[in-house]
Amino acid sequence: MVSFIKQIVLPLAMNDLKALSQYTSALELLRLATEKLEAMEDSFLSEGDNSSNKSAVEIPLNIYYEFAHLRATLLESKCLLAWDTIEA
């Protein structure tokens, strides 16, 4: 899902913004992707909570990095979209 959001959703949203100027649909696409990412993070953390070691949930660093980077990229895309809307 992370790969899908990075390779399909973000370029599609930015293309929608630039080529079609449909801000509402691009913003909705980014919102849905953000919600899905948050659900995936929650699911990943809850799987760790179900393990035998309840004292700490360990997330592999590369997965944490992917989630954090994608969350930042989605936020940046929303900001660019809002900025372009203000300037238009």
Tell which residue, 49, 26, 36, 31, has the closest CA to residue 3: 36
Read off the pTM: 0.67
Write the pLDDT tens digit of every residue in 7-55.
Answer: 988 888 887 766 666 677 888 899 999 999 999 988 887 876 666 555 5
For the chain, which residues make up each domain, given as ranges?
2-87
pLDDT at 86: 67
Phi/psi for 79 (5° steps) reads -65, -45
